[in-house]
Amino acid sequence: MKGAAALPRVAGVLICLGVVLAGTGLVCSQFETPAATRPAVNAPTTEARTAIARAGWPIVLSDQFDAQTNDWETGETDDRFTTGSLKITGGKYRFDLKANDGFIWWSRSLDNTSTTDFYAAVDAQQITGPTSADHGLVFRWQRGNYYYFEINESGQFALSLYYFEKWETLVSWTSASAIRPGEVNRLAVGAEGSHFTFYVNGESVGEADDSRLPGGTVGVAVELSQAGDQAVFQFDNFEWRAPSEAVSILTPTPKP
């Protein structure tokens, strides 16, 4: 599924909902400028143990992007928000996009699968583009609402919530020494109940609590904040795990 939400980092809020297609959704919005960076947070040993335990949960979805075997969005795009393409090529899931307006573009597989507690991870890299761009994981996506764990090329991470057509910052842009700008970064989110833990390259970089979205799907996302921005992003080795009791298969609502 696809999705995009513009987050130009300027004062004020402007939300513009676009179409939501099978597996995809498009939203534009204005958002606040990243605050001054905070000190990096070191990973406690207990969190490392927790991450190992979560990584042992049963697999919901594992994808090395060697072929288009799952329902990720691919194809060409040319609309009011973006021009470019999404492709699974060379063992990577590649986003090559130019912004016609600021946006976040998300893509999900297994649209009918929902998890409460889960662990999700992906190898992510910004190949080209401005430092204002970001990319990461969306999680607990349900009915157009979702959390977005994002990193940028300035070595920062943040957590945002898109909830009933409004953006909220749950973790402001924060420096983390674990982030390697220009390189592949292994991003991961662990969720148990309303508590989330965020990892970059095996290090815990932050935590947050929020109970508004108790479950949903998981995917990847990229952001370009200004019209004219252009960037290439790649994802690989996507992993989504959850305890069996935390997994549910959603039944589509019958059409009248």
Percent of the chain scored above 70 by pLDDT?
A: 77
Q: Has residue 27 got a pLDDT over 50?
A: no
Q: What is residue 54's predicted lDDT score, i.e. its pLDDT?
A: 78
**Strand 59-63 to 195-200 pairing:** unpaired
Token pair for 224: 């370009």
Residues 95, 219 contacting (CB under 8 angstroms):
no
Better pLDDT: 178 or 43: 178
CA 174 – CA 143 distance, rounded (Å): 29
Q: What is the pLDDT of residues 153-189, one digit of tens each?
A: 999 999 999 999 999 999 999 999 999 999 999 999 9
CA 228 – CA 99 distance, rounded (Å): 5
Q: What is the pLDDT of residues 77-89, one digit of tens each?
A: 999 999 999 999 9
Mean pLDDT along residues 213-218: 97
> 134: Cβ–Cβ under 8 A, 6 or more apart, which residues?
150, 151, 152, 158, 222, 223
Q: Has residue 134 got a pLDDT over 80?
A: yes
Mean pLDDT of the residues in the chain: 84
* Segments of the chain assigned E as strands: 2-6, 14-21, 24-30, 59-63, 75-78, 82-89, 92-99, 103-108, 113-115, 118-128, 134-142, 145-152, 156-163, 166-175, 185-192, 195-200, 203-209, 217-224, 230-241, 247-249
Better pLDDT: 144 or 56: 144
pLDDT band, residue 56 (cuts 50/70/90): confident
Stretch among 14-28, 103-117, 124-138, 232-246 having the lowest mean pLDDT? 14-28
pTM listed for this prediction? 0.82
Domains of the chain in start order, with CATH, are 2-246 (2.60.120.560)
CA 109 – CA 71 distance, rounded (Å): 5
Q: Has residue 94 got a pLDDT over 70?
A: yes
CA 105 – CA 151 distance, rounded (Å): 14
Mean pLDDT along residues 39-54: 55
